[in-house]
C-alpha cells in the first residue's frame, strides 16, 4: 500500500510539472465568446499539448495572472483593444515596459489610429477582427518553435 501511495504522489507531481511547463497563450478580451472560438480553431494544437490558452476578461485579471506565474511559461499575450476599464493599448504600453514577451493586438474596430498606437507601443502584431486563424496559427507556431529552439540552445 505504501509503494502505491508513493507512485500516486509521484504521478501527480509529474502532471503538475508538465502542466507548469506547457507554454501559455494569454488571451485578454472582455467577450467570453472567444473561449470556444479559440479552442475550436486550435483544437489539434491543444490536443497535442503544444500550448494552452489562458483567457482573462479584464486588465485586473490579466495583471493578477501575470504576477502569479513564471513568465517563462507565457509564449504570447493577445490583447483586445476595446475593453472596459483599461484598453488593450494601455495594457500594451505598460506590459512592454515590464516584460519581454511577444504581444499581439486584435480589434473589431480596425482604423489607422489603433494601428498607429499599436505600432508606437511596439505590438508584435496587429490583427483586425475577424481574425485570420490560419495566419495566427502560422505566427503562433513560429513563436513556439523559435522559443523552444532558443531554450534548447541555452
Q: Residue written as cell 490583427?
A: 127
Report d(CA 13, CA 16) in Å as an integer: 5
Report pLDDT for 109: 84
Closest CA to 142 of 76, 47, 73: 76
Report pLDDT for 99: 93
Give the residue, 84 or 94, on which the prediction is more confident.
94
Q: What is the mean predicted confidence (pLDDT) over 73-80? A: 96
Q: What is the mean predicted confidence (pLDDT) over 80-95? A: 94
Q: Would the pLDDT of 10 be above 70?
A: no
Report d(CA 80, CA 145) in Å as an integer: 25
Report pLDDT for 12: 59
- Residues whose CB falls within 8 Å of the CB of residue 59, separated by 6 or more in sequence, listed in order: 28, 83, 85, 86, 90, 91
Q: Give the chain's mean pLDDT.
A: 87
pLDDT band at 13; cut points 50, 70, 90 = low
Q: What percent of the chain has pLDDT over 70?
A: 84
Burial category of 81 from C-beta neighbours within 10 Å (exposed 0-12, middle 13-18, buried 19 and up): buried
pLDDT band at 1; cut points 50, 70, 90 = very low
Helix axes 88-98, 59-68, angle to 10 degrees: 20
All domains of the chain, ordered by start, with CATH?
22-153 (3.40.50.2300)
Report d(CA 150, CA 142) in Å as an integer: 12
Contact (Cβ atoms closer than 8 angstroms) between residue 129 and residue 107:
yes
Amino acid at each position: 500500500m505504501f509503494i502505491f501511495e508513493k507512485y500516486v504522489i509521484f504521478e501527480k507531481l509529474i502532471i503538475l510539472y508538465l502542466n507548469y511547463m506547457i507554454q501559455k497563450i494569454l488571451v485578454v478580451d472582455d467577450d467570453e465568446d472567444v473561449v470556444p472560438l479559440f479552442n475550436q480553431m486550435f483544437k489539434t494544437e491543444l490536443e497535442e499539448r503544444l500550448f494552452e490558452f489562458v483567457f482573462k476578461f479584464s486588465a485586473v485579471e490579466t495583471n493578477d495572472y501575470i504576477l502569479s506565474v513564471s513568465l517563462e511559461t507565457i509564449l504570447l499575450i493577445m490583447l483586445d483593444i476595446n475593453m472596459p476599464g483599461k484598453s488593450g493599448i494601455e495594457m500594451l504600453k505598460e506590459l512592454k515596459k515590464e516584460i519581454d514577451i511577444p504581444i499581439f493586438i486584435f480589434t473589431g474596430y480596425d482604423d489607422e489610429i489603433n494601428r498607429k498606437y499599436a505600432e508606437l507601443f511596439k505590438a508584435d502584431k496587429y490583427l483586425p477582427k475577424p481574425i485570420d486563424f490560419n495566419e495566427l496559427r502560422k505566427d503562433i507556431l513560429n513563436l513556439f518553435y523559435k522559443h523552444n529552439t532558443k531554450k534548447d540552445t541555452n
